[in-house]
A and B are shown apart, each in its own frame.
Chain A
Amino acid sequence: MLFKKGSITLLDGAMGTMLQSAGLKPGQLPELLNLTQPRLIEDIHRAYVDAGSRILYANTFGANPRKLARTGHSAEEVIYAGVTAARRAAGDSGALVALDIGPLGELLQPMGTLAFEDAVSAFARMAVAGEKAGCDLAVIETMTDLQEARAALLAVKENTSLPVLVTMSFEANGRTFTGCSAEAMARTLEGLGADAVGINCSLGPMEMAATVETICRSTRLPVAVKPNAGLPDPADGHYSMTPEAFAEAMRPILRMGVSLVGGCCGTNPDFIRALDKAVRETEAEKASLQAIPYEPVSFACSATRAVRIDRVRVIGERVNPTGKKRFQQALREEDMDYVVSVAASEADAGAELLDINVGMPGVDEKRLLPMAAQAVQAAVDLPLQIDSTDIAAVEAALRVTCGKAVVNSVTADPASLARVLPVVKKYGASVVGLTLDENGLPKTAAERVAMARRILEAARAAGIPREDVWIDCLTLTVSAEPEQAEETLAAVRAVREELGLQTVLGVSNISFGLPNRVGITRAFLLRALDRGLTLPILNPNQREVMEAVAAYRALHGEDEHCACWIADFGEETARSALPGKETQRPAVSASAAATLEEAVYRGLKGEAAALAREALAATPEMELIDGQLIPALDRVGADYEAGRLYLPQLMAAAQAAQAVFEVIRSRMDAGHAGQLARGRIVMATVRGDIHDIGKNIVKTVLENYGWQVTDLGRDVPPERVRQAVEETGARMVGLSALMTTTLPAMEETVRLLQAMANPPEIMLGGAVVTRGWAESLGAHYAKDAREAAKVAGELLSSL
């Protein structure tokens, strides 16, 4: 094994700093020097070998195909030269050569525009080239986005047999720029199969110590630490720490039991020499070594939210089409906005993990499940539980799900174990094991516990740690099988107490078919929690159920000084539920509205929905829309045009109207819902442009007027727009651009659409677009959302 705990291996120091002192200007690609000045590179490596470095990072940090695209050189060529220079410097010293992989320089979705698989391909080319060039290992470093680190690690593991060390850059608050915590990093990357993890760059040794400690507690793997030479001077960016001070500041970190140390920006061979001395002295004083112990804990995380399963955690169950017509319709239309709105409402109601299920007849889960996972994680920061029986769909979703996810589920059936566990292991997920097998669900608690044991053993054999095995003893409907509730509860207790595993239970199923379901559900939930249920799957939007969870926590010592309970219920007005938190949103106006029209005009969402429900008892749907909703929207629009209302009020009114539409939709069956649809409009922010709020404003208002919007998002290539028009048969396309530099892409899109056999109407908007320019292209112009609704109405109604 290349990396091992219990001894310290010396890495090298900075390459960039050395090259800059040799005259490299910022902005020039240092990796090209592998081709133009290989001797310079080799000499720097040799200086590190002489200083004691045992692992050399080849000068390949930015040698990825995306950064090299405009240089006329290939990644393969640059990497070969870089690895060769390091290899020559290593000579027969025994020092190893690492392929160094840095960030691609472009942000991945959802923060940026780079697709996950495009990032994986770019990293894969580097990894393959590095292995061919003869490097001994791969190092992925200076990552700030956990998703990019995942892409790089998967690329190395899937395409080479190189051992791989991954380090990310953390700020003084213990998080990366993109909000990833050290614990989330360590647990996610260990799960994905890194051979060592750690931290580099950004801070000096002193500022890093606390984060290093967290990493040591969060992984069984060897830990690497490569700090900068202190903090840079704010004026000129230079580092001023001396090699001796650096080595001295590293001593507390060396005593934590880290395994790989070196220097990053601002360090040079003198730093490595001083560090080497400190390492040898620390190893000599073995008695004083107090290695930080690893803390095994069940854990899940997203890109930015870490959830330790150290107390009861609620898994939201509502992203699931079973028995929900509206959800099914959304999936058929691939309306991810609706899926995300359900997920967001669960998160806001206090869910701490979200189950994601899109399984229903006629749906291509392998395509839709990753799509849903990506859409949800762009707007909701909770860890995801990927729920499907289609293992290909599970794998596709796990790939793009950032952080440490959960797979729901595997059974004790050997075929299921063989199919599911390797995927769980590869992506470092946790797994929910259902206590049933090919012969069905056993009737007794003892048999279920035996199955849990079988699942645990198989998982351990597949290399999955026991804290990642969560057992679902299965809730049966009490009205159908009254004696089974007790068996389930007994099994939960045994799994928790005898096996020490996390327990999952979909509690709502208990009350199926009964009146006042929530009463039964809540009582069963409380009993199960008392028996050791740690992960109830439930509907967090049911206040009574979430109250029970909150009460259990208070009574069970999981809510210190009842602080959460008091925060939730201390005020009469508290709407929120409970384990989570809902921030008070400033309201436009507090007083109540008397009519639906008034509620919509004033943007009172809850009231508008309530008034609509009341009105629908006596008024047909279409009459409500034509008689009250549309007049209210027209009044809002007219007042907006006249400057009596402004954009925020326009949006508030639009959302109130949307809430009314949702009420109406939920009452209509799929056939009648078709009446609501006036026609389809495809919308996109053009290629190269990342500003999408303007487009989203227009979308919100267009939907109010009954248009169905297919939203392609931002940075959309012209061809994708054309394709969407073909697929949907949309008669209109709305395009947005905010930057002058993206106007050519807008023009290209317009031309492409106009060349179609049956071209759609085209409407353009955005800060830099003018009426004259739009009309010169033969397109329509809308200066704002209100005008867009008018233009759509005039053009499409006359068709």
Chain B
Amino acid sequence: MPSVIDEALRYLGAPDRETRDWLEALAEDTETRQAAQPRWVFAESPLSAEDEGFCLTRFGLTLTGRTAQRMLADCESTALLVCTLGHGYDRLIRAAQARDMRRAVGLDALGSALVEAACDRAEEELRSRHPGLYLTDRFSPGYGDLPLSLQPQLLAACDAPRRLGVTLTQSLLMLPQKSVSAVIGLSKHPQQARIRGCAFCAMAQNCAYKSNGGCEAMNKSIQL
């Protein structure tokens, strides 16, 4: 799985061969593979334009802000997604932190890459269920101006606590930690990629790679 490794190396900020070999071995480790159990749930709804923003009519859930406005401008319906690697992976990282921080650091980066890869697979499933429709980029509460306060409703719409074991802390962070919640628009028209790149990234102000051309450039340097 070359792209997962590339992604994890990017999170680690480590483009060297030695780290790549080590991370590949870590990804192939039986314990890692058994612990990562990606699962996801979609909840789809028609959209209607309201004054405060687009409303997912099936759930009575309104997505406020410019991000949702721009992303869903061209869409008839939308899918909410919750995806997780499960509690076993959190447990694996916790166990590693007590024994070997290097391993924990590797598992943490790998987990982030694995859950994103699972989201990509989930999107494929969504696409195959809707031939003829086009998907927008997925975007998540907490990014851009889509408020994190949507999390309780988003998770409830997906029945995520019961169907995936994903819950929120008081501060609205998801557990297991390697989980993603997202909104994906469905449109009859092809959708351009809108939110790739530094301008939309929450990490932009602090990013170590931004001055070198951001993640895309970093990815290229990894592949070289």
Contact = CB atoms under 8 A, between A and B. Distances in A.
A693 B93 contact: yes
Contacts of A647: 12-14, 105
Contacts of B220: none
Contacts of B175: 107, 111-112, 690
Given A235-B44, A586-B26, A379 B105 contact: no
Interface stretch (A4-12, A627-635, A669-677, A738-746): A738-746
Contacts of B108: 693
Interface in B4-27: 12-16, 18-19, 21-23, 25-26
Contacts of B61: 27
Nearest to A348: B99
Nearest to A766: B206
Interface string A636-648: 0000000000111
B61 to A, nearest CB: 7
Interface in B158-213: 159, 161-165, 167-173, 175-177, 202-203, 205-206
B156 A696 contact: no
Interface stretch (A461-469, A478-486, A649-657): A649-657
Interface stretch (B64-72, B83-91, B132-140): B83-91
A288 interface: no
B210 to A, nearest CB: 13
Given A112-B175, A647-B12, A585 B103 contact: yes
Given A378-B94, A691-B177, A237 B129 contact: no
A380 B91 CA distance: 9
Contacts of B16: 646
Contacts of A603: 102
B7 to A, nearest CB: 15
B22 A688 contact: no
A280 interface: no
A690 B103 CA distance: 19
B202 A740 contact: yes
Given A378-B94, A741-B148, A26 B86 contact: no
B31 interface: yes
A648 B106 contact: yes
Interface string A679-712: 0000000011111010011001000000000000
Interface in B50-71: 59-61
A586 B29 contact: yes
A654 B44 CA distance: 48
Contact of B19 (A265, A649, A691): A649
A418 B163 CA distance: 46
Interface string B97-114: 111111111101000000
B171 A179 contact: no
Contacts of B168: 105-106
B162 A169 contact: yes
A113 B162 contact: no
A113 B99 contact: no
A304 B91 contact: yes
B223 interface: no
A786 to B, nearest CB: 12
B142 A741 contact: yes
A160 B52 CA distance: 48
Contacts of A651: 101-102, 105
B21 to A, nearest CB: 8
A502 B44 CA distance: 56
Interface stretch (A76-84, A336-344, A493-501): A336-344
A441 interface: no
A726 B219 CA distance: 47
A583 interface: yes
Nearest to A379: B98
Contacts of B203: 767-768
A561 interface: no
A655 B203 CA distance: 29
The majority secondary structure among interface residues of chain B is: helix
A177 interface: yes
B170 A113 contact: yes
B95 interface: yes
Given A105-B161, A380-B98, A586-B22, A27 B153 contact: yes
Contacts of A696: 97, 101, 104
Which size bracket describes the interface of A in this complex?
35 or more
B88 to A, nearest CB: 6
A569 B167 CA distance: 44
Contact of B18 (A27, A232, A649, A770): A649
B94 to A, nearest CB: 6
Given A177-B87, A586-B29, A700-B101, A688 B169 contact: yes
Interface string A752-793: 000000000000000111100000000000010000000000
Contacts of A340: 98
Nearest to B87: A178
A72 interface: no
A188 to B, nearest CB: 18
B173 A648 contact: no
Contact of A26 (B97, B156, B173): B156
A304 B161 CA distance: 19
A286 interface: no
A795 interface: no
Contacts of A337: 98
B214 interface: no
A201 interface: yes
B152 A142 contact: no
A237 B105 contact: no
A179 B92 CA distance: 12
B169 A106 contact: yes
Contacts of B91: 111, 179, 304, 381
B169 A112 contact: yes
A337 B29 CA distance: 25
A586 B25 contact: yes
Contact of A715 (B14, B44, B169): B169
A234 interface: yes
Given A27-B157, A235-B44, A178 B165 contact: yes
B115 interface: no
A144 interface: yes
Q: Which of B15, B90, B148, B167 has the most CB of A within 10 A?
A: B167
Given A27-B157, A341-B98, A690-B177, A648 B22 contact: yes
Given A27-B157, A379-B97, A693-B108, A648 B44 contact: no
Contacts of A652: 102
Interface string A100-121: 0001011100111100000000
B95 A381 contact: yes
A727 interface: no
A651 to B, nearest CB: 4
B181 to A, nearest CB: 13
A648 B105 contact: yes
A26 B148 contact: no
Interface in A534-589: 583, 585-586, 588-589
Contacts of A742: 171
Contacts of A585: 100, 103
B41 interface: yes
A648 B202 contact: no
B76 to A, nearest CB: 16
B170 A106 contact: yes
A646 B59 contact: no
A106 B167 contact: yes
B129 to A, nearest CB: 6
B206 A768 contact: yes
Nearest to A235: B129
Given A648-B106, A690-B171, 13 more contacts: A179-B91, A202-B162, A232-B163, A304-B91, A379-B94, A379-B97, A586-B26, A588-B102, A646-B15, A647-B13, A655-B102, A693-B104, A770-B206
Closest A-B pairs by Cβ, 3 of them: A177-B165, A688-B171, A646-B14
13 contacts: A27-B156, A103-B167, A178-B165, A235-B44, A340-B98, A380-B98, A646-B15, A648-B106, A654-B101, A655-B100, A690-B175, A715-B171, A741-B172
